[in-house]
A and B are shown apart, each in its own frame.
Chain A
């Protein structure tokens, strides 16, 4: 049955952000036929906009659905999202201003641009670009899964609403570029904050308080079949919990959409301040995770865990507020989907099209290619979800997380040193990709946790971390050999001081 009240509120907010998305083209006006303006918003976003943009970008609709869904089925394991989003920021604080400075100085639009400049290696840059695009595609598709869950909860069947939503998204991304998700993110984030603050006051009050909620979950989770859950993680799960948090944290800012968010800010200070301010979202994410626990206490029974939170909201809130909350989640899917596809468009244009297809291309043509590729990526994601089973997107997303972490040595270590040889990094990347993929397949995609056996000790851990270790070992050994053989390591167009530089503009602003 269609929930008309919820649906009306939902549509109202959807129309609102559509208007915002298209008018965003006029905001901080720039020449949108230039990739720096269209795809990076002219690198002019200040602390507040960057906070909304990165918040909307990193804490995606899929997170809002998948994390509580995991809490609902497995319990404490799902809470790794909290330490994950704690430890990401000290890393961002130290490392990302270096990437910003060197990119500003040399006009790098993507992470692959940087690697190319650092090593004069288009093959290494290509490897990074392809990894980024492959990891991003299923991520975009999964945003649509988040949207699907709330649309279904309002009683709407069929794929049509999803198609309409995606066409709207494609329209304003094309017209406004990164300015559209940046502006929409402000609305979306405020809606998410309102929803969650209401949820943490109202739902526990109705369910008899947090003490009671945790108590019920503690009784119910161990009875889950086939795998029993638990409210507190047991000794066997410690290493998995820690490596999942660490691996996900190190991987997050290697994703093209995160790099886009960083590069679009107007200065190093903006990034550093945000490293201290973004944890506000992590705090909210913790409570979103607890919605899964609340769903247990509220007696929500569903075969599909992704429906647990939408069903909880419908049960505990009046229809109009459920519509508001669902709109927040759906718009929460549009923001990252838009940024991710723009980032993938930038990558393709800069590191594949301009590198291999048309090196002499004009700035206008470059921007046009980026826009068209972004559109193709979005339609591809839609096709992924409409035509193929959802599990495929989920499996690919799991692989994507493992893959993207394999770009860590080439991207992050290279911000500090050129000790590594470019071909050593390439070989390490290849080894990491192979090992990580093999581990995921060996697990039949059931889990991203792989148990390694060292003699008699068994250590379960995030496959991405194991693959990264292999990656590093190979990169180091290969570098030692290549250096001994005196193989040329390419020319470096960057200088040591490029990584520390404040831009003149940002110092004035």
Chain B
């Protein structure tokens, strides 16, 4: 299999990049005080967590589509 068709095949992974939109754009799912973590209300630590997770996700997609 040549380089460019291999790259095309791996493009399916790009769909993973939709995940950050789904998990952040519906605040009804995370807009609560409880459960807290180290004093942080859920609303805050959930969004901090997704900063890290979406960065890892982007790096993962970068590596598998290279």
Point out residues on A near B: beta carbons under 8 Å.
76, 79, 82-83, 85-87, 89-90, 93-94, 209-214, 218, 231-235, 237-238, 241-242, 245-246, 269, 272-273, 275-277, 279-280, 282-283, 286, 290
The 8 closest A-B pairs by CB, nearest first: A211-B39, A210-B39, A90-B17, A279-B55, A83-B24, A276-B59, A276-B58, A242-B25
Q: Is A275 a contact partner of B62 (Cβ separation < 8 A)?
A: yes
Contacts of B50 in A (CB 8 A): 83, 86
Q: Take A86-B24, A90-B17, A232-B33 as given contacts and tell me if A214 and B51 are in contact as well, using a CB distance cutoff of 8 Å.
A: no
Q: Take A93-B62, A211-B39, A242-B27 as given contacts and tell me if A283 and B52 are in contact as well, using a CB distance cutoff of 8 Å.
A: yes
Number of interface residues of B (CB under 8 A): 34
Please measure, in the bound complex, the distance between the C-alpha atom of A74 and the C-alpha atom of B11, giving whole angstroms. Answer: 42
1/0 contact string of B38-60 vs chain A (CB within 8 Å):
11110110011011101111110
Taking the complex as formed, is B36 at the interface, i.e. its CB lies under 8 A from any CB of chain A? yes
B3 nearest CB across to chain A (Å)? 11
Q: Is B44 a contact partner of A79 (Cβ separation < 8 A)?
A: yes
A72 nearest CB across to chain B (Å)? 15
Contacts of A90 in B (CB 8 A): 17-18, 20-21, 54, 57-58
Contacts of A94 in B (CB 8 A): 14, 17
Point out residues on B near A: beta carbons under 8 Å.
14, 17-18, 20-21, 24-28, 31-33, 36, 38-41, 43-44, 47-48, 50-52, 54-59, 61-62, 66
Contacts of A89 in B (CB 8 A): 20, 54-55, 58
Contact of B51 among A211, A283, A290 (CB under 8 A): A283
Contacts of B14 in A (CB 8 A): 94
Q: Which of B27, B38, B41, B59 has the most CB of A within 10 A?
A: B27
- 30 pairs, A vs B, C-beta closer than 8 Å: A79-B43, A82-B47, A82-B48, A83-B24, A87-B54, A89-B20, A90-B18, A90-B20, A93-B17, A210-B38, A210-B39, A211-B36, A211-B38, A231-B41, A232-B31, A232-B32, A232-B43, A233-B27, A237-B27, A242-B27, A245-B24, A245-B25, A269-B66, A272-B62, A276-B56, A279-B52, A279-B58, A283-B48, A283-B51, A290-B44
B43 nearest CB across to chain A (Å)? 5
Contact of B40 among A86, A210, A246 (CB under 8 A): A210
Contacts of A241 in B (CB 8 A): 27
In the complex, the chain A residue whose C-beta lies closest to that of B57 is A90
Contacts of B28 in A (CB 8 A): 235, 238
A275 nearest CB across to chain B (Å)? 5
A470 nearest CB across to chain B (Å)? 21
Contacts of B51 in A (CB 8 A): 82, 85-86, 279, 282-283, 286
Q: Is A276 a contact partner of B48 (Cβ separation < 8 A)?
A: no
Please measure, in the bound complex, the distance between the C-alpha atom of A282 and the C-alpha atom of B52, giving whole angstroms. Answer: 9
Q: Is A87 a contact partner of B61 (Cβ separation < 8 A)?
A: no
Contacts of A231 in B (CB 8 A): 33, 41, 43
A277 nearest CB across to chain B (Å)? 7
A79-B43, A87-B20, A242-B27 provided; 11 other pairs, C-beta below 8 A? A90-B58, A93-B62, A231-B41, A231-B43, A232-B43, A238-B26, A238-B27, A245-B24, A246-B25, A276-B55, A276-B59
Contacts of A218 in B (CB 8 A): 33
In the complex, the chain A residue whose C-beta lies closest to that of B29 is A238
Q: Take A82-B51, A232-B33, A272-B62 as given contacts and tell me if A212 and B39 are in contact as well, using a CB distance cutoff of 8 Å.
A: yes
In the complex, the chain B residue whose C-beta lies closest to that of A281 is B51
Please measure, in the bound complex, the distance between the C-alpha atom of A226 and the C-alpha atom of B12, giving whole angstroms. Answer: 50
Please measure, in the bound complex, the distance between the C-alpha atom of A90 and the C-alpha atom of B20, giving whole angstroms. Answer: 8
In the complex, the chain B residue whose C-beta lies closest to that of A209 is B39
A119 nearest CB across to chain B (Å)? 27
